[in-house]
Chains A and B, each alone.
Chain A
Amino acid sequence: MTTLAVLEQRDGVLRKISHEVVTAAQRLGGSVEAVVCAAAAVQGADQAAKFGADKIVTLTNPAFAKYAPEACAQALAERAKQGGYRTIVFAASATGKDLAPRVAAKLGVGVAADLTDLAIDGDALVGTRPVYAGKALLKVKVKSQPAVVSLRPNVFTPVERPKAGAAETVAVNVPAGRVTVREVKAAPAGTLDVAEAQIIISGGRGLKEPANFKVLEELARAFGGRAAVGASRAVVDAGWRAHSDQVGQTGKTVSPSLYIAVGISGAIQHLAGMRTSKVIVAINKDKDAPIFKVADYGVVGDLFEIVPKLTEEIRKLHG
């Protein structure tokens, strides 16, 4: 039984989320074949071996220099048809959410998407996914062959399990496709996306005005490049912060190791986006705010006194 783990690269460099995909794939037992679409050799692709890839295949085509949804989908679907894989694992990242259904449709199946757990139960693959704004977990048996699944980012912590990772490069002949990425407008250097950050400090209406987000930005900086600043829907709708920073049902779903909610009451639509965070800290002046119900640690009081103090303490830790 072989699992196909679909890795991601950007600008020729393997994306870290690929480690999670390989980790989840090797949990299923059998062998793991990792595959990545790229224009040329991918820097860091050999890392997949460390997390359990028996084989690492680079499918090359000039069109893969940027994300080429149609060309990638065709190349992966052709590989999948030849390979006879039991399971195909994607990340439910921006790219994975776009790519997985395209590949699945070509194989005549749907995707068990955004899984937070997966296992083999007897001869079937069973996946768990949060539904209804995270207020319930749906456990599904995936009966298709192959089973196509995608994984919620930051849930499957990479575990090192070194394998041979024999490298293979295959030039694939596929058309570039009708949908093409013209350019990627990168966020300013040094800003970390909330979807990828290990630490998120989110602010809500309690910040009182947009300029006050600087206290959160200072705290984020104190963590030395590992933290991103997020926002509640209320402050995004008010135009204080960009939509790309929004955590919640109509924003991003995040699972960082540490989530610090500052001046956020904890509406259900916000909780939907962050309740799978590993550790949650809430800082709020209202001791009855719903955010304290999901928080592991709460501090009640004036955020403008608490957050700068926290920044100072974190700076001390990081010297």
Chain B
Amino acid sequence: MKIAVCIKRVPDSETRVKIAADGKSLDEAGVKFVLNPYDEFAIEEALRRKETAGAGEVAVICLGPAAAQETIRTALAMGADRGVLLQTDKIPTDPFETAKVIAAELTGATWDLILFGRMAIDDYSHQVGPLVAELLGLPCVTAVSHLDIEGTKGVAEREIEGGIEVVDFPLPAVLTADKGLNEPRYPALKGIMAAKKKPLEVKPAQPGAGTLEIVALTPPPDRKEGKIVGEGAGAVGELVRLLREEAKVL
């Protein structure tokens, strides 16, 4: 099994968001960056598939700044074999440009599986995986929460509103991983030490400008100040009155 996992370095979700002076980007000072949580499911799945097959390779590919080497090392510490950083200081706003850079890198080899996280928790685009699949002409299943593979045939499950779709697909394929697919492992100390010696290739990347242009990044509008209606079951009558007469939702 030769598997590529495409990952992203993202601000930790607990980060306090401060908008930079340009009014269009995140002020990165003091921001803690982590491996995108959905990508952990993708890495874990790749490792398990390789372990089950008994042979193969898990390569991790990341478009990002020099600091994303650290993110790749996290994946290597989990057990991936090698990493490729497509280095750029500016991640494109247009996901199609990101997809083009990643697809170009993936074209150089034959993969059994190409895995992504379902979405990145910073920009919520949930589309680089399927865009890459289209660019490479590969079948794609998104938001996979359960996966069975037998030879070159796969069966995936994905959550939809009010149910689960059971999807047949052939390999090679592009899949995006949802929570529930597996329980990602924590890198053990041995893995962390081993990761330092694993190959990590850095290649300069020059993504295009694309067709999405940032106008502004702003704080969300403050929610109108709420009120504590009261304490205990005695406040329920007043709560219901407010929901009916003020909020008009009942």
Task: Choose, from B106-114, B195-203, B236-244, the stretch at the interface.
Answer: B236-244
- Write out the residue numbers on chain A whose beta carbons fall within 8 Å of the beta carbon of B237: 313
Q: State A281–B244 Cα separation when bound (angstroms).
A: 13
| Interface: B151 (CB within 8 A) | no
Q: State A278–B224 Cα separation when bound (angstroms).
A: 11
Cβ-defined contact, A94 with B161, below 8 A: yes
Contact of B243 among A105, A177, A182, A281 (CB under 8 A): A281
Closest to B140 in A: A179
Cβ-defined contact, B168 with A180, below 8 A: yes
| Interface: B206 (CB within 8 A) | no
Closest to A145 in B: B211
Q: Which secondary structure dominates chain A's binding surface?
A: mixed
| Interface: B89 (CB within 8 A) | no
The A-contacting residues of B in range 113-155, CB under 8 angstroms, are 121-127, 129-131, 133-135, 139-143, 145, 155
Take A183-B166, A301-B232 as given contacts and tell me if A106 and B142 are in contact as well, using a CB distance cutoff of 8 Å. no
Task: Looking at the assembled complex, report how far the CB atom of A284 sits from the nearest CB atom of chain B, in whole angstroms.
Answer: 10
Number of interface residues of A (CB under 8 A): 94
Task: Looking at the assembled complex, report how far the CB atom of B127 sits from the nearest CB atom of chain A, in whole angstroms.
Answer: 4
Q: State A258–B250 Cα separation when bound (angstroms).
A: 9
Q: State A92–B223 Cα separation when bound (angstroms).
A: 24
Cβ-defined contact, B166 with A184, below 8 A: yes
Cβ-defined contact, A297 with B226, below 8 A: yes
Cβ-defined contact, A143 with B159, below 8 A: no
Q: State A272–B180 Cα separation when bound (angstroms).
A: 19
Contact of B164 among A106, A143, A185, A297 (CB under 8 A): A185
Cβ-defined contact, A143 with B213, below 8 A: yes
| Interface: A39 (CB within 8 A) | no
Cβ-defined contact, B143 with A179, below 8 A: no
Q: State A100–B131 Cα separation when bound (angstroms).
A: 10
Contact of B212 among A140, A199, A268, A295 (CB under 8 A): A140
The A-contacting residues of B in range 151-182, CB under 8 angstroms, are 155, 157-170, 173, 179-180
| Interface: B54 (CB within 8 A) | no
- Write out the residue numbers on chain B whose beta carbons fall within 8 Å of the beta carbon of A95: 160
Cβ-defined contact, B214 with A140, below 8 A: yes
- Write out the residue numbers on chain A whose beta carbons fall within 8 Å of the beta carbon of B95: 101, 110-111, 113
| Interface: B188 (CB within 8 A) | no
Task: Looking at the assembled complex, report how far the CB atom of A225 sits from the nearest CB atom of chain B, in whole angstroms.
Answer: 13
Task: Choose, from A27-35, A48-56, A162-170, A242-250, the stretch at the interface.
Answer: A242-250
Cβ-defined contact, B13 with A302, below 8 A: no
Cβ-defined contact, A105 with B126, below 8 A: no
Task: Choose, from B14-22, B60-68, B71-79, the stretch at the interface.
Answer: B14-22
Task: Looking at the assembled complex, report how far the CB atom of A79 sits from the nearest CB atom of chain B, in whole angstroms.
Answer: 17
> A100-129 toward B: CB 8 Å interface, digit per residue (1/0)?
111011101111111000000000001001
Closest to B164 in A: A185
Q: State A93–B145 Cα separation when bound (angstroms).
A: 16
> A277-305 toward B: CB 8 Å interface, digit per residue (1/0)?
01111100001000011111111111001
Cβ-defined contact, A178 with B139, below 8 A: yes
Task: Choose, from A57-65, A187-195, A202-210, the stretch at the interface.
Answer: A187-195
Task: Write the residues of chain A forming the contact surface with B, with a CB cutoff of 8 angstroms.
Answer: 67, 69-70, 73, 93-95, 97-98, 100-102, 104-106, 108-114, 126, 129-144, 177-187, 191-193, 195-196, 199, 243-244, 246, 249-251, 253, 257-258, 268-269, 272, 275, 278-282, 287, 292-302, 305-306, 308-310, 313-314, 317
18 examples of A-B residue contacts, CB within 8 angstroms: A67-B165, A94-B165, A101-B95, A105-B99, A106-B134, A111-B95, A132-B15, A136-B17, A139-B218, A140-B212, A181-B165, A187-B163, A243-B180, A249-B37, A251-B179, A253-B124, A309-B233, A313-B240
Closest A-B pairs by Cβ, 6 of them = A110-B96, A105-B134, A144-B211, A101-B127, A94-B160, A301-B232
